């Protein structure tokens, strides 16, 4: 049972574009960690057993939702140039041992807590080793430690030689094998199924391989049919136009990363009867590709192949984002935290990136990272806006993010399910921050 809180004198940002900032509001949060009431200060009686916190001059908004993360790494640059033999040895002799799994879990927990202290109260993890994400989610849900709301997908589903295979993926090469692997993930307790329809930048061996088609429509459709029977959604890693088409034709619920669209693709995003809810949302990850695409390899230590693939993917993804905005396609926000130069504590950079590259406003991207993300993830009845009856997932800021999005780089307080973190603390990675500050 939590403490009951009254947050007084706040400037309230609800999290959706239809409502304006409300000054001098009080939020009551009950012992169950739910928002009990929201009203102007002078209209609200605060029960005596509530702990009152005066937040005069501060801004309160819904906690951030990161719709695309990995917890296995922290954003320090990866060189990605080791041989298959070294990878095989590292995986079997180090990572997949009792000691290795213990270290991995510790690291993933640390990354989840870093995100939480940076204001991310909900995250969807889209690919981890050994169902460690399932373990962490269950520990949080049992109340063993205070962490973010976690939605997890365990291993990728991929094809032989496909993205993430064989270490981070269950491998299958037919519709029935894909069904079986979907069932294995479900048996192991995942919330989402993540498939890799095309190659990816991180493990591509040649220029152009990142978006190369790897799955067939029949394979994608088998996964979607199996998942949708259980009310479970499917996320698809896709980095090319043809990959997006195959994923949409198969019925996926979210496209991760994305690419340039044509008329058929735009139509399928907006009206797709094979999906769980009749449409597909786009979750681009601009910050994941941008540093690798734009920085000099002498800084990133990345190969020419990775740099060129990053550039191709980023350019196509950005065009797709602009088309999605112009055509009213549902867009969420995820930053692919864990990739090189994408930390768990700087979600604001992804939001800033949208605003620099499109005509979206502060209010638009704040709504996307809260209300829209919650809707895409199917949890908008629980979180995503500050409304009576929802979980008290919120952040307290010293400055107004509607005026300056960088206000989200520093939390004054964070609350998840009514658990208050009074002095959030984030250990920043200096080498990463310096590079990113130089890029922008």
* pLDDT value of residue 181: 98
pLDDT at position 83 over 70:
no
Distance of CA 382 to the CA centre of its chain: 17
Binning pLDDT at 50, 70 and 90, where does residue 354 land? very high
Cα separation, 111 vs 106, whole angstroms: 9
Give 342's contacts (C-beta < 8 A, 6+ positions apart): 75, 285, 287, 288, 335, 336
* pLDDT value of residue 69: 98
Distance of CA 151 to the CA centre of its chain: 10
The single-letter DSSP state of residue 213 is B
More confident residue, 291 or 347: 347
Please tell me the pTM assigned to this model. 0.97
With vertex at residue 33, the alpha carbon angle to CA 378 and CA 26, rounded to the nearest 5 degrees, is: 105
pLDDT in tens, 361-384: 999 999 999 999 999 999 999 999
Q: Quick one: residue 207, left, alpha or beta (phi over 0 = left, psi -120 to 50 = alpha)?
A: beta
pLDDT in tens, 174-199: 999 999 999 999 999 999 999 999 99
Q: Is the distance from CB of 42 to CB of 310 less than 8 angstroms?
A: no
Exposure class string for 353-390: b at 16+ Cβ within 10 A, else e: bbeeebebebbbbbbbbbbbbbbbbbbbebbbbbbeeb
| Domains of the chain, earliest start first | 5-62+384-421 (2.30.40.10), 64-376 (3.20.20.140)
pLDDT in tens, 375-412: 999 999 999 999 999 999 999 999 999 999 999 999 99
Looking at residues 205-210, what average pLDDT do you find? 79
Length of the chain (residues): 440
* pLDDT value of residue 389: 98
Cα separation, 335 vs 290, whole angstroms: 11
- Kindly report which listed range (277-286, 303-312, 324-333) carries the lowest average pLDDT score: 303-312
Percent of the chain with pLDDT over 90: 84
* pLDDT value of residue 176: 98
pLDDT at position 1 over 70:
no
pLDDT in tens, 127-181: 999 999 999 999 999 999 999 999 999 999 999 999 999 999 999 999 999 999 9
* pLDDT value of residue 402: 97
Looking at residues 255-280, what average pLDDT do you find? 98
pLDDT at position 75 over 60:
yes
- Paired with 193 in beta bridges are 234
What are the phi and psi torsion angles at 420 (to 5°)? -95, 130
Q: Which tokens go with 181?
A: 């692997």
pLDDT in tens, 322-342: 999 999 999 999 999 999 899
Widest pairwise Cα distance in the chain? 68
Of 6, 21, 1, which is closest to residue 366 (Cα–Cα)? 21
Cα separation, 8 vs 23, whole angstroms: 10
* pLDDT value of residue 359: 96
Q: Is the distance from CB of 257 to CB of 317 less than 8 angstroms?
A: yes
């Amino acid at each position: 049972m939590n403490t009951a809180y009254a947050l007084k004198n706040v400037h309230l940002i609800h999290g959706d574009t239809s409502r304006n900032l409300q000054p001098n509001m009080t939020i009551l949060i009950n012992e169950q960690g739910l928002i009990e009431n929201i009203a102007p200060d002078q209209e609200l009686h605060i029960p005596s057993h509530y702990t009152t916190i005066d937040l005069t001059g501060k801004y309160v908004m819904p906690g951030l939702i990161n719709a695309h993360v990995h917890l296995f790494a922290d954003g320090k640059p990866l060189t990605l140039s080791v041989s298959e033999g070294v990878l095989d040895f590292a995986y079997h002799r180090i990572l997949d041992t009792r000691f290795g799994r213990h270290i991995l879990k510790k690291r993933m927990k640390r990354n989840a807590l870093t995100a939480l202290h940076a204001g991310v109260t909900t995250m969807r993890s889209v690919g981890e080793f050994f169902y460690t994400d399932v373990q962490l989610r269950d520990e949080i849900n049992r109340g063993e430690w205070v962490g973010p709301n976690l939605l997890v997908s365990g291993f990728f589903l991929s094809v032989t030689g496909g993205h993430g295979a064989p270490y981070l993926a269950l491998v299958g090469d037919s519709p029935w094998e894909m069904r079986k692997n979907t069932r294995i993930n479900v048996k192991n307790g995942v919330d989402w199924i993540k498939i890799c329809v095309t190659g990816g930048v991180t493990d591509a061996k040649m220029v152009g391989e990142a978006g190369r088609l790897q799955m067939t429509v029949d394979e994608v459709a088998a996964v979607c049919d199996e998942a949708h029977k259980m009310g479970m959604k499917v996320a698809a890693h896709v980095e090319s136009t043809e990959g997006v088409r195959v994923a949409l034709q198969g019925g996926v619920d979210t496209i991760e990363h994305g690419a340039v669209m044509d008329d058929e693709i735009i139509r399928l995003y907006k009206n797709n009867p094979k999906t769980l809810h009749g449409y597909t949302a786009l979750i681009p990850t601009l910050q994941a590709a941008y540093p690798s695409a734009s920085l000099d390899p002498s800084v990133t230590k990345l190969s020419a192949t990775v740099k060129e693939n990053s550039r191709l993917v980023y350019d196509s993804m950005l065009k797709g984002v602009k088309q999605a905005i112009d055509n009213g396609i549902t867009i969420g926000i995820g930053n692919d935290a864990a990739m090189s130069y994408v930390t768990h504590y700087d979600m604001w950079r992804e939001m800033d990136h949208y605003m620099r590259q499109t005509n979206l406003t502060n209010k638009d991207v704040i709504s996307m990272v809260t209300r829209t993300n919650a809707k895409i993830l199917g949890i908008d009845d629980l979180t995503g806006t500050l409304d009576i009856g929802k979980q008290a997932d919120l952040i307290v800021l010293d400055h107004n993010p509607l005026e300056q999005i960088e206000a989200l780089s520093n939390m004054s307080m964070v609350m998840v399910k009514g658990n208050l973190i009074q002095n959030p603390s984030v250990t920043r990675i200096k080498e990463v921050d310096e590079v990113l500050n130089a890029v922008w």
